[in-house]
Each structure stands twice: as structure tokens, then as C-alpha cells.
């Protein structure tokens, strides 16, 4: 038995092909829509935050997934910022001196100590006060005058001799005692030198402690003697005024005389020098001729220039033969005096050769 296959019209074949093409398009569209639909947020009903998952929020009765875009934007922003900072650091290192320590602040000078404040003058020492002059010795007190010697006592004035006692006044003679009044030159420990006009009269006086003797006799008391000698003349020489040479006529240099030779210290001895028309230097000394076993005695020398007391010196004279060189007087324009204050227990030399030999010669 034979069968005939039905014949397919060409138009029907085209329709089948067209239908298959349309079906493919619809399938692709369906798949795409399902993907989009899966990306859409889902909403579940809620009465509170506890009804939603940890990554959702309860808003208007529905659980809405939290938006992380802000965090992502923030992270992106921080990333951009870190990138900019890295770029700046890179540029900074690019401009940095290659000999400079890479860990050193780029604002510091290349040769500057990395431990030093970058705002500090690079010429200053690292430990130096930034307020201190960079040219000042870093070992110097920052409050000290930079012109002052750093080895000088900071308590001294800048213009004061560094060898001078800082307790002395700036304008005070460094040879003067620190505690001495620089305005007082009236004698004793408060005087070394004073000037005065050429005098008409020089008055020298010696006094000492009187001995406790009921009936003083020659050779019983402590016998001191004042000596007044021109410079260059020995003590006790022919030109010296003392107990064995009571008067001197020095011509234009004037006349000098001793009023009494006191042997017990009851009365003072006085020498007057006057009538001089030329200047010169005269020395004043005290000799212990004999203590007669009375022990030491305190001697006092006073000098008046034209009735003004300018010198008053004291000294303990201990024994026979001792000598005290008290002061030198320089007469001229102007006139001055100089405290010598030298004590000799054993006077020796040409200037002492003419002195009497103590108790072996009784006046």
C-alpha cells in the first residue's frame, strides 16, 4: 500500500522559521528579565527592626535592604585621599636632597641635626635655647651678655675685669678690698690712696697702749718710736726724724721735728712737717725699741694733711726689734699717700742698718 506524503507549502515553512525566531527572542527576554528581577530589592512586612534581617531596616512596615553605597563612596574617597598623600610624599622625596637622611624632616636643612627643632636656626647647637643668639657660645648663660667672655663669672658686669672679684663694684679699684667702701679713703682698712692739694702742714702721730706700771722709770715700759724718713734714706739714718734725731732741715723740702720721745705709751709722739716748697716722698714707720718684757702692744698711727685726718692705721707690735712700715706720703701736685702696712719681725737690709739694736741701747 502506498502512502503519499503531504506536501508542505513554502509559505508554511517560512512561518515555522519565523515562529522559531520569535520564540528564541522571547526566551532571551525572559532570561534577562529574571536577572533584573532578582536584582530588585525584596520587601517583607515588619512591625519592628527585630522582624528584619541584620542587613535590612524596618521602614514604613517593610524590611528594606541597607544601602552600602555611602560606605563604598567613603572608601573610594579615602582611597583617593591616600593616593593624593602618597603622591605628595613621592614629590617631597623627589625634591629632597639625596644626601639627606630619608627619615629626616624635609623642612630641615640637610646638615641639621634630625633631633633639632625644624623651626630652630640651623646655626644653633641642638641643645641651645632657640631664643639664644646663634652666634653666642651654647655653653654661655642665655641671659648673659653675648659680648661677655663665656668663662667670666655671669655675676660680673660685662665691662668688669674677669680677674676682679665679682663682689667689687664695677668702677672700684681691683686692688681694693671687696667689702671696702670705694668712696671712703679715710684710712685703716677703708683706704689705700687719696689725692689732695700740695699741703702746708703734715702732722704724724704715734700712740700705743700704756703699760700698767705704778712708777714708770727708764727701761721699765714698752718703748716704741715713730720714724719719718725721706725716700732713699735708711730708717734711723742721718736724714730721718726719730727719738735720736729730733729735728731736720731739708731746705726747700721744709723742716720736720719730733716733739717728745715717749717711753711708756702714756703720751703720743708727734712729728710736724711744714714749710716745704718742693715735693718728695716720705716714709712713716714704727720701731719697737724695747718691750722690756711687757709683751705685745697695739700701736696706732694717725696722719693729718692741713688739719684733715686722712690716715688711721693700727698694728699689734709683738716684741723688741720688730718694725712696721706704715705708709708712704707723696707730696706734689696732686699729693697722695699709699698704705704699705708691712711688718718685719727681723728687719734686714740696707734700709734697716741704722736702726738701734733694741734693748741693748737704752736712751
pLDDT tens by residue, 102-161: 666 666 656 666 666 667 666 666 666 666 666 666 666 666 666 666 666 656 655 556
Confidence at 16, pLDDT banded by 50, 70, 90 = low
Tell me the C-alpha distance between 237 and 248, whole Å. Answer: 11
Q: What is the pLDDT of residue 292?
A: 87
Rounded distance between C-alpha atoms, residue 203 and residue 206, angstroms: 10
pLDDT at 183 over 80: no
Residue 169 has pLDDT above 50, yes or no: no
CATH architecture of 188-360: Sandwich (2.60)
The grid coordinates listed for 271 are 712729728
Spatial strand order in the sheet of 193-196: 193-196, 335-344, 323-331, 280-290, 223-230
Residues, the chain: 363
Of the CA atoms within 13 Å of residue 356, those in its CB half-sphere come to: 22
Distance CA 64, CA 45 (A): 9
pLDDT range class, residue 45, cuts 50, 70, 90: confident
Distance CA 294, CA 221 (A): 7
pTM for the predicted model, two decimal places:
0.49
Q: Is the pLDDT of residue 48 over 60?
A: yes
| Phi/psi-derived region of residue 188, left when phi > 0, alpha when psi is between -120 and 50, beta in every other case | left
Task: Please give the Cα distance from 9 to 23 (Å, whole number).
Answer: 22
Q: Considering the chain, what is the average pLDDT of its residues?
A: 73
- Look at residue 52 in the predicted model and tell me its pLDDT: 83
With beta carbons less than 8 A apart as the criterion, state whether 239 and 247 touch.
Answer: no
Tell me the pLDDT band of 283, cut-offs 50, 70 and 90: very high
Is residue 28 predicted with pLDDT exceeding 90?
A: no
Task: State mean pLDDT over 298-307.
Answer: 96
Q: Is the pLDDT of residue 69 over 50?
A: no
Nearest to 253 by CA among 363, 329, 166, 351: 329
Q: With b meaning 16 or more CB within 10 Å and e meaning fewer, what string describes 153-163?
A: eeebbeebeee
Residue 280's beta-bridge partner residues? 331
Amino acid at each position: 500500500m502506498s502512502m503519499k506524503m503531504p506536501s508542505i507549502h513554502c509559505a508554511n515553512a517560512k512561518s515555522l522559521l519565523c515562529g522559531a525566531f520569535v520564540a528564541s527572542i522571547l526566551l532571551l527576554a525572559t532570561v534577562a528579565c529574571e536577572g533584573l528581577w532578582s536584582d530588585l530589592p525584596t520587601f517583607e512586612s515588619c512591625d519592628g527592626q527585630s522582624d528584619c534581617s541584620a542587613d535590612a531596616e524596618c521602614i514604613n512596615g517593610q524590611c528594606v535592604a541597607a544601602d552600602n553605597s555611602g560606605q563604598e563612596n567613603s572608601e573610594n574617597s579615602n582611597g583617593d585621599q591616600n593616593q593624593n598623600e602618597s603622591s605628595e610624599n613621592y614629590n617631597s622625596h623627589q625634591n629632597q636632597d639625596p644626601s639627606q637622611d630619608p627619615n629626616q624632616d624635609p623642612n630641615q636643612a640637610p646638615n641639621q641635626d634630625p633631633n633639632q627643632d625644624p623651626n630652630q636656626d640651623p646655626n644653633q647647637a641642638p641643645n641651645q635655647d632657640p631664643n639664644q643668639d646663634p652666634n653666642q657660645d651654647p655653653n654661655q648663660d642665655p641671659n648673659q651678655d653675648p659680648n661677655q667672655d663665656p668663662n667670666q663669672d655671669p655675676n660680673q658686669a660685662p665691662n668688669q675685669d674677669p680677674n676682679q672679684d665679682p663682689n667689687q663694684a664695677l668702677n672700684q679699684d681691683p686692688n681694693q678690698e671687696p667689702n671696702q667702701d670705694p668712696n671712703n679713703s679715710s684710712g685703716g682698712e677703708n683706704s689705700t690712696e687719696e689725692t689732695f692739694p700740695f699741703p702746708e702742714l703734715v702732722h704724724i702721730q704715734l700712740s700705743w697702749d700704756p703699760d700698767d706700771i705704778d712708777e714708770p722709770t727708764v727701761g721699765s715700759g714698752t718703748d716704741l718710736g715713730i720714724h719719718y724718713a725721706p725716700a732713699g734714706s735708711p730708717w734711723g739714718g742721718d736724714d730721718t726724724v726719730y727719738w735720736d734725731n729730733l729735728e731736720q732741715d731739708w731746705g726747700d723740702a721744709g723742716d720736720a721735728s719730733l716733739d717728745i720721745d715717749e717711753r711708756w705709751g702714756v703720751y703720743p709722739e708727734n712729728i710736724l712737717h711744714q714749710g716745704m716748697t718742693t715735693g718728695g716722698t716720705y716714709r712713716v714707720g714704727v720701731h719697737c725699741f724695747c718691750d722690756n718684757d711687757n709683751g705685745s702692744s697695739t700701736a696706732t698711727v694717725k696722719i693729718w694733711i692741713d688739719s684733715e685726718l686722712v690716715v688711721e692705721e693700727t698694728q699689734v707690735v709683738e716684741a723688741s726689734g720688730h718694725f712696721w712700715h706704715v705708709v708712704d706720703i707723696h707730696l706734689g701736685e696732686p699729693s697722695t699717700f699709699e698704705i704699705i702696712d708691712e711688718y718685719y719681725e727681723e728687719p734686714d737690709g740696707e734700709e734697716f742698718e741704722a736702726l738701734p739694736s733694741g734693748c741693748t741701747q737704752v736712751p
